């Protein structure tokens, strides 16, 4: 009888640990209609991929994909399901701060003005620096996915979105980073 109880407990423990990701993912709140992201990626001197993101609720989280040994690949069409984004962010994610609702609403209104196709020329800036990319993901109801719109990128290569909405949004983000 004790042997059967031990086997049962082992099966229960294994089941709980094997379902860890689905338990965590189901507890994750909806991202809403907008996600702001700042990410750092570098493949030189070892893989680094970490960043911060904030959803419509204003909560700012950090994440670290490199600690999970997962290499994220951007979708070629620039569209992502909510589950894809959550799976990207749900690696060593930690609540860092919270953005006031009025600021999130202001940022959301600015994001709606961003032209995804308004890009500056790309210039070579450094070597082996990796890249810091600031993006906004807007939910597109017609596709039922989030569209990634890059606001700016700095590192080995430098460029930015030249639309007024992107420039104002980056000013707001930089003020919040201080």
Q: Tell whether 108 is covered by a domain.
A: yes
DSSP-H helix ranges across the chain? 2-18, 20-27, 82-89, 101-111, 164-177
Q: Taking 80 as the threshold, does the pLDDT of residue 114 lie above it?
A: yes
Q: What is the pLDDT of residue 1?
A: 53
C-alpha to C-alpha distance for 165 and 106, rounded to whole angstroms: 11
What average pLDDT does the segment 89-99 reach?
Answer: 89
Number of domains in the chain: 1
What average pLDDT does the segment 53-80 reach?
Answer: 90
β-pairing, 94-98 vs 79-80, is unpaired
Which range of residues forms the domain containing residue 44? 30-177
Q: Tell whether 23 is covered by a domain.
A: no
Q: Tell whether 40 is covered by a domain.
A: yes
41 token code pair: 């990626």
SS3 23: helix
Q: Tell whether 44 is covered by a domain.
A: yes
Q: Are 166 and 152 in contact (CB under 8 A)?
A: yes
- Please give the residue that has the higher pLDDT: either 175 or 52: 52
Percent of the chain with pLDDT over 70: 83
Q: What is the pLDDT of residue 126?
A: 83
Of 8-22, 48-62, 163-177, minimum mean pLDDT range: 8-22
Q: Tell whether 5 is covered by a domain.
A: no
Percent of the chain with pLDDT over 90: 61
Q: What is the pLDDT of residue 73?
A: 87
Q: Tell whether 11 is covered by a domain.
A: no
The phi and psi torsions of 103 (rounded to 5 degrees) equal -70, -40
Reported as a pLDDT band with limits 50, 70 and 90, residue 32 is: confident
Q: Tell whether 156 is covered by a domain.
A: yes
Question: 96-113, pLDDT tens digit by residue?
Answer: 999 999 999 999 999 999
What average pLDDT does the segment 44-55 reach?
Answer: 90
53: alpha, beta or left, given left = phi > 0 and alpha = psi -120 to 50? beta
C-alpha to C-alpha distance for 64 and 89, rounded to whole angstroms: 8
Q: Tell whether 20 is covered by a domain.
A: no
Q: Taking 60 as the threshold, does the pLDDT of residue 48 lie above it?
A: yes
Considering the chain, what is the average pLDDT of its residues?
82
Q: Taking 80 as the threshold, does the pLDDT of residue 15 lie above it?
A: no
Q: What is the pLDDT of residue 26?
A: 33
Question: 158-174, pLDDT tens digit by residue?
Answer: 999 999 999 999 998 88
């Amino acid at each position: 009888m004790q042997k059967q109880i031990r086997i049962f407990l082992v099966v229960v423990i294994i089941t709980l640990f094997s379902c860890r990701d689905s338990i965590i993912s189901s507890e994750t709140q909806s991202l809403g209609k907008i996600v702001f992201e700042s990410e750092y990626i570098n493949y030189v001197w070892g893989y680094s991929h970490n960043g911060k993101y904030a959803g419509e609720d204003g909560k700012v989280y950090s994440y670290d994909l490199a600690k999970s040994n997962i290499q994220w690949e951007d979708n070629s069409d620039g569209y992502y399901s909510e589950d894809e984004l959550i799976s990207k962010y749900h690696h060593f994610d930690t609540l860092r701060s919270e953005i006031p609702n009025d600021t999130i609403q202001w940022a959301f209104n600015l994001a709606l003005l961003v032209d995804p196709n308004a890009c500056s020329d790309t210039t070579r800036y450094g070597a082996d620096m990796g890249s810091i990319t600031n993006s906004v993901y807007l939910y597109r109801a017609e596709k039922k996915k989030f569209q990634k719109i890059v606001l700016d990128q700095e590192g080995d290569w430098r460029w930015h979105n030249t639309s007024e909405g992107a420039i104002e949004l980056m000013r707001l983000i930089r003020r919040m980073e201080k």
